[in-house]
Amino acid sequence: MPHTDIEGLPETPSNLYTTHESISYSTAKKILGHEAIDTASTATGAEANYWYTETTDDAVLAVHPESWGGSKLLARMTVEAIQLNAVPEGILEELNESTDIDLDEYSLLVFGRPSATPNHAIQEYLS
């Protein structure tokens, strides 16, 4: 019997990749690693978690793993966030062509997991 079927335990939490629209790690890494991104527009740890909790759900764009190894990386990663309005328009236009998501519709890109999301929730995405 899965542990989620035991009475009295809370429901298994959902993860960012199933509760928010998401893009692949390789696409998101192009934004995170771009030299034009101002450091004031990025945050890690508690500050990134705060940005995430203060952003409406429909404005959050999550990063999903592309492999088992990618899921392990994201599970261990301290949450990182990037304010997408600070990303140069040319970068967003270039990435819009390689994905079916309009990046202009979102304001926050989130890597890793907020502190309220346990590690096992990330593995659900690959199932």
Q: How far apart are CA 73 and CA 98, in angstroms?
A: 23
- Report the predicted TM-score, pTM, of the whole model to 2 decimal places: 0.71
pLDDT at 83: 93
Q: How far apart are CA 58 and CA 52, in angstroms?
A: 11
Has residue 4 been placed in a domain?
A: no
Has residue 30 been placed in a domain?
A: yes
pLDDT at 91: 84
Has residue 5 been placed in a domain?
A: no
| pLDDT-flagged residues of the chain (< 50) | 1-6, 8-14, 118-125, 127
Has residue 107 been placed in a domain?
A: yes
Please tell me the total count of domains within the chain.
1
Q: How far apart are CA 17 and CA 24, in angstroms?
A: 10
Has residue 88 been placed in a domain?
A: yes
Has residue 77 been placed in a domain?
A: yes
Residue the block writes with tokens 């997991």: 113
pLDDT at 114: 63
Has residue 3 been placed in a domain?
A: no
**Kind and range of the H or E element at 50?**
helix 45-54
pLDDT at 14: 45
Domain ranges, residue 100: 14-126
According to DSSP, residue 106 is labeled: -
Has residue 8 been placed in a domain?
A: no
